[in-house]
Structures are given as C-alpha cells and as structure tokens.
A and B are shown apart, each in its own frame.
Chain A
Amino acid sequence: METINFDFFGNAFLTCSLLGAFYTLISSFRDNSTKSYKNTSFVIFFGLFSACCYLSYQFVTDNFSYLYVASNSNLLLPTFYKVSALWSAHEGSFLLMIMLLALANYINNLVLVPSRNLVISNQVVSSILVLYLIFLITSSNPFYLLNPAPLNGADLNPLLQDPLLVIHPPLIFTGYVFYAATFSFVLSALINGFTKDIFNTLKIWAGVSWFTLTMGIFLGSIWAYYELGWGGYWFWDPVENVSLMPWIAGTAFTHSLIFSREKTLEIWMVFLGIITFLLSIFGSFVVRSGILNSVHTFAADPTRGIFLLGIFAIFSVLSFYIFFTRSNLVKTSWPKFMSKNYLVLLNNIILMSILFIVLIGTLYPIILEAFTSNKLSIGPSYFSNLISPLVIALLLIFTMEQFLKQGFRKLIVFAALIIILSLIVQQFILKDVYAYLVISGIILLALMARAFFELLKTKSIKMPHKILGHISVVILTFAVIFNHNFSQNLDLRISPGENISAIGTNLKFDSIDVIAESNFDGVKALFLVDDVFDLAPEKRIYKVGGQITSETSIESTLFHDYLIVLGDRFPDGSWSISFSRKSGMIWIWVSSFLLMISIFYGTIRRI
C-alpha cells in the first residue's frame, strides 16, 4: 500500500521561517523602538532559501520519493530543466515566491537605516509572510514523501522545457513580491507621514518592481512568440491579463510619485500603491485557484482558491481600513490646470481606465458564467478596440507634456494639428494603413525632433530615461500596429523539392529528416526562403507522455519575420504547412528592451 508522509527537513526549514516571521510580527507590535530586524529577517530568508535548495537537490538527484519531484521531473530530463522544474508547478513556484519576498525583506533590513517606516514595513511584510507560509505548509506543501518511491517521474510539461520559460515565471513572481515591499512602504508613508526619505525608498522599490515585472511580461511574450509559435506575442489570455493588471497599476503608481513628491494628491499615490499590491495577490488567486481554463493554470484545488481569496480579502480589508481612516488626515492639494502634474494625472486616469477594461474583460465572463451559466465570448478584438484609442491618447498626452513650455493654447493647436495631419496622410496618401499607425508615427517624429533639438541646443538631454522611455513606448505602439496591419498568413500544401511563391517570397521545400534526441523523437524539415535563409520547423513527440509538439522555425529580418509551422503529412508525401510573415517583430522587442533600459536607468541613477 502506498503511503504519503511529511518530509522532515523541508518542513523544518519552512517552520523555522514561519516562526521567524511570527516573531517579527509580534515583537514589532510590542515594543515601540525602531530596532532593526536584520537577524530575524535573515533567518526567515535563510530558512526559505534552504528549503528551495533542498528541493532543488532532490530534483537534481532524481529522488522520486518526493511527490513533487515525482510529478514534475523525469530521469530523461536534462539537468538544467531539473533545476527549473522547482518552479514548474504550484507548490514549488509558491515556495520560490515566498523566498523572494523574504529576500526583499532581508535587503530592506540590511540596507535601510532603522526607522519608524522600516518597522511598519517589517510588520506588513511579515504578516504577508506568515499568511503565505501557513498557506504553503497546510495546503500546498511541496515536501510530501511517497512510500514506496516510484522508479521514474511523470515528465515536465514539454511547453515548459524552454530556457525562456525557466526565467519568465520567477521574474513575474519577483515583480509581484517587490510590489509587496513597495506596498509596505506606501502604508508606512500613510501612517508616518510623507517624508523625503520615504519617497526615496518608494521610488527605488517602485522602479525595481516595475522593471522586474516589465521584464517578466516581456520574456513571457517572447516565449509565446518563439515557443507557442503561432506568430502571436500577446493573446489577451486571462492569465496574461492578470499579470498585466498589476503592471498597469504599477505604471500609474510610478508616475504618480512625480506629483505626490510635490505634495499633490499623495492620497492618490497611496491608493495606487495599495491596489498594485492587491492586484498582484488577486493575480495569484486567479491563476492558482484554477477558476480559469488556460495554458498557464496550475492544477485546481478548491480549498486553495478559498484560502488565497481569504488572503486577498484580509489584505484588502486591512489596507483599505488604514487607507480610509488615515486619508481624512492627509491634506490634499490639486495640481494647476494644464500644468505638468495635471497631465501626469490625466495619464494616470487613462491608465486606470485601461486597467478597468482589462479587469472587466477578464472577470465579467467568468462571473457571468457562474451566475447564469451563459458563456460570454470576449476576444482580443474587445481589448484592442477599446484600448488602442486610449493608448494613442496616452501618447498624445506625454508628447504634449514635452512641449509644455510653449503654453496652453499652442498645445491644444499642436495636438489638433497632429490628429488632422495624421488623418490627411491616412486618407490621401497611405490609404491601406490604419490611422493609429500614422498618428503614432507623427508623434514619434515630433518626440525625436524635440529630443534632437534639445541635444543640439544644450549638448545634453534632461531626464534621458524619461525621453528614451517615452520614445520607446511610441516605437512599441507603432510596431504593434504595424504588425497588426501588415502581417500575413498562408496555409500551403507542399512536397519535398517543390518551389512555391507565397507572400512575396519564393519558398522551396528542400528536405525532411527524422531526428532523435534523449527526450523526444521527431521530424525536421528544411525550407529555403528566396535562397537567402532557411527555416527548419520540427514536429516532436516526447517520449514520456507522448505529447506531440510543433517547433516553429522563425527567421527575423529588419522589417519582417518569416515563420513556418509544420502540419500533417499527406499520403503522397506532401506536407501541409502554415507560412506566415509577421511584420515589425524586431521593433517590438527592441522598443520593449529600450523601455526596460530606461526604467532601469531611471531607477538606479539616484542611488
């Protein structure tokens, strides 16, 4: 008879951290001093870190007596993926997430001078840690032992056997938990007052979390593009939306620091800081409770859902209680009409509207189905139809802000001019092109021209991270619309040796061969495009589990990417393939990368 037991060491590490977090929570409430928790926070971090290492060690040594190892690894799996299998399922990834939160907390205690703010931060973070750890130990424990141990494990999901996916989830979690650290300081600002110190800390944490989350989402997109291989990089899948929501709120939050530093609408900044964190917990709830059908979701367990929803509810109630009781005490002043701060506030409002669209587009169908059992179909078109004009409005606003010195009337004329000029160009010159593409193109030119003249006049650019960041957002928008406008896809039937002209290219099917690797078998085809470059799409069958996957082959050029997905083999030896040209992909990646660089520089330049 098979039995399941608790593993001693793993649970001991977790318990040790839990006790540490508990101690911090209790003692920080008891004495009023501003003592540091350097040692305790180290103990918490170290316990979780050891638990992670310990579990990783079991993966690497193929110790299938661990239930978690047995269900997520296999003897044939390359060692690299054995390590990353740690965060391939719910339990391990949650452990990793808590470990990262403990790390953030330890860094705070190590670097910051002990103060009232740090005490509050410690209280908040350790209460999060306590709840998360209780959740981990009771309902998502990765340290279960199987007796007798199976000889081999079930395999790691082949979709996850990809280097990008090894780093994408931890980055998203890091972004989430860093927002928890940001949240703790937002609350301490609300309680202890908005001092200069707290703004410096907030600015760094906001930047670091924003950067990490951006990078996580960026890598997820790249993974979707290269690994899912259908030429898409963003699907408006509910899980993607759920990770986008804290990002949008975080973007608004980082921008709100600009005016709240100048003693304007601090309360709004606090509100954004709180909801960014709450949205990240809500994200964990949605993804981990199994209420969605998605490629991303972990196996469902209803008690987990209730527990996570409970954690979300507790933090919502607590933080809004503090928010509403303290917000009356904070005097709020409003920015001047058409000042820089007014425009930043407008940007915040538009971002919040985008957030709201993503939120109801994601949740409304789920809720409707639960109450009426009607299935409402919300597709990508809903999001893109509503969000595109708002993004264009955002671009217009931050471009106007660049030209603020010219005066209010001129600004309005300027914005109207951009729109009219774009419409003229689109109506009479570039008829087949979206109006949005032309508008964003003209905005891009305006921003670049301004930066260029500033460089000429003063030999330097003020706030280069801001200019670069905004320019890269415009390039990103432009590239996304360009991609939407000019991409093409064609299904072909082609035999080896055959030549076909398709989508403006000459496609030659050179050969097809059988391949064999340690963890899969398959076929690999070779195509020549215009005799310039070749594409080698594959079809694989994984030895364990027997899953069939298609490996898309992609060749990037400056303006277009070419993709081939291998379909089925016909009896006469010909194959069905899907051949597509995706436009502007490189520019999407380059601009996202530039955006990350500017966020990074903007964060570290004052440290």
Chain B
Amino acid sequence: MIGRLFKIIFLVIFFLLIVSMIVVLNTPKTASIKTQDGKTFPDTTNLRQLNGELVNPLEFTEGKILVNIWASWCITCLVEHPFLEKISQEYPDLKLVGINYKDTISKANNYLERNGDPFMYSIFDNTGSFALKLGVTGAPETFLIIDGVIVEHRIGEVNRVIWEQDFEVFF
C-alpha cells in the first residue's frame, strides 16, 4: 500500500520535473535584473548638458523620447552609434537624448565630433548618479519614454533586430 503510494508520488514528481525542464529549456533567458518598463522617468531638474546649459524638465514629460546611455570608453556604444544616427533620420519626430555616462566633457565632445551627433540633447552625467536613479547598470542602455513613462528598457546594444522586435510597436 505504502509502496504503491510511494511509486505514484515518485512518478508524478519525475514527470513534473521533466516537463518543467522542457519548459525551462524553451524559455528565453531574461536579463538578470528587472528592466524599468512601466516606471515614470525620474526627476530631471538640475541636469546639465555637455555645453553646460540646464535641461528643461518639461522636455521629458511629453511625446516620445529615446534616451541612450553612452560613454566614449564604451566599445559597444561605438558599435551602436551608426544605428542611432539612422533612427534619428528615420523618425524625425522622435527626440533622441544622450546621457553621457561617467566620462569627461572633452572626450565626450571629441567622440560626438568624430562619430556624428544624433542627439537633440547630450546630458552630462559624469558621476553616473542620474543614471543610477534611472536604474542603469552600465553602458549602453536605451530607454523609450512616452509621455514621461518608460515603455521599453534595453540593456545592451540596440540594433535593427532588437528595434524591430521591441521598439517598433510603439510607433
């Protein structure tokens, strides 16, 4: 009696294990932390641009904005850069905002001069404190903000494939 019960319990557990492992195998792995989708964009008062001017906080509460975290020391950013240029041409209504992360003003300006500047604003965040509040874990990262709410957060490079898969639906 107990033997049969044991057998049945055992078979059920084994069956569940195999099924769940098959499901696990077919589930794409997600980034190790939660992305920032659905959160409101943090307070942007007192943010300065690369040229030293303050940014108008209202700029971030209306319309569609693509925020890209980049740095001159970041190699993937350099790879990603031409694609951002293309996006700025393809979507003239989209505001592209760059957040220069843990960098120096001169290196950042050099980088933009050499590789082109797709950004409407380039915010200078050399301590990374604003990026930290935003939930950034490194560079590059890209946020799509619609009316002040983050609708898409990409950790790592954005390219054509990723854009079509995750970003295009919002346009």
Contact = CB atoms under 8 A, between A and B. Distances in A.
User: Do A and B have CB atoms closer than 8 angstroms in the complex?
Assistant: yes
B18 A291 contact: no
A302 B25 CA distance: 7
A514 interface: no
A317 to B, nearest CB: 8
Contact of A309 (B7, B18, B29): B18
Interface string B13-40: 0100010111111110110101000000
Contact of A293 (B3, B10, B18, B29): B29
A326 to B, nearest CB: 13
A306 B7 contact: no
A182 B105 CA distance: 66
Interface in B21-72: 21-27, 29-30, 32, 34
A283 to B, nearest CB: 13
Nearest to B7: A324
A373 B24 contact: no
Interface stretch (A56-64, A84-92, A235-243, A363-371): A363-371
A309 B26 contact: no
Contacts of B7: 324
Contacts of A373: 30
Contacts, number: 40
Contact of B24 (A320, A327, A370): A370
B31 to A, nearest CB: 9
Nearest to A359: B17
A296 interface: no
Given A367-B20, A371-B20, A306 B34 contact: no
A309 B22 contact: yes
Interface in A326-378: 327-328, 366-367, 369-371, 373, 375
Given A293-B32, A375-B34, A366 B14 contact: no
Given A313-B18, A371-B20, A289 B25 contact: yes
How big is chain A's contact interface, by range? 20 to 34
Contacts of A367: 20, 23-24
B37 to A, nearest CB: 12
Contacts of B24: 291, 366-367, 370
A320 B12 CA distance: 13
Contacts of A320: 10, 14
B160 to A, nearest CB: 23
A302 B22 contact: no
Interface string A282-322: 00010001110100000000100110010001001000100
A146 B40 CA distance: 51
Interface residues of B, number: 17
A309 B34 contact: no
Given A313-B18, A375-B34, A302 B26 contact: yes
Provide the main secondary structure of the chain A interface. helix
Nearest to B24: A370
A143 B23 CA distance: 31
Contacts of B3: 327-328
B27 A369 contact: yes
A443 to B, nearest CB: 34
A502 to B, nearest CB: 26
Given A293-B32, A309-B18, A320-B10, A371 B25 contact: no
A289 B24 CA distance: 10
Nearest to A316: B14
A309 B29 CA distance: 18
A321 to B, nearest CB: 11
Contacts of A313: 18
B25 A305 contact: yes
A370 B27 contact: yes
Nearest to B6: A324
B34 to A, nearest CB: 7
B78 to A, nearest CB: 14
Contacts of A375: 30, 34
Interface string A258-292: 00000000000000000000000000010001110
Contacts of B21: 285, 291, 309
A309 B26 CA distance: 13
A370 B23 CA distance: 6
Contacts of A316: 14
A368 to B, nearest CB: 9
B25 A309 contact: yes
Contacts of B34: 375
Nearest to A306: B25
A328 B30 CA distance: 47
A199 B29 CA distance: 45
Contacts of A324: 7
Contacts of B32: 293
A367 B25 CA distance: 10
Nearest to A364: B20
A313 B22 CA distance: 11
B10 to A, nearest CB: 7
A257 to B, nearest CB: 22
Contacts of B10: 320
The residue in B3, B14, B21, B27 that gathers the most chain A C-beta atoms within 10 A of its C-beta is B21
A306 B27 CA distance: 13
A302 B27 CA distance: 10
A366 B32 CA distance: 12
Contact of B23 (A285, A306, A371): A371
A323 to B, nearest CB: 10
Q: Which 5 A-B pairs have the closest CB atoms?
A: A370-B27, A370-B24, A305-B25, A367-B20, A370-B23
24 contacts: A291-B21, A291-B25, A291-B29, A293-B29, A293-B32, A302-B25, A302-B26, A305-B25, A309-B22, A309-B25, A316-B14, A320-B14, A324-B7, A327-B3, A366-B24, A367-B23, A369-B30, A370-B23, A370-B24, A370-B27, A371-B20, A371-B23, A373-B30, A375-B34
Interface of B: 3, 7, 10, 14, 18, 20-27, 29-30, 32, 34
Given A316-B14, A370-B20, A375-B30, 14 more contacts: A291-B21, A291-B24, A291-B29, A293-B29, A302-B26, A305-B25, A309-B21, A309-B25, A313-B18, A369-B30, A370-B24, A370-B27, A371-B23, A373-B30
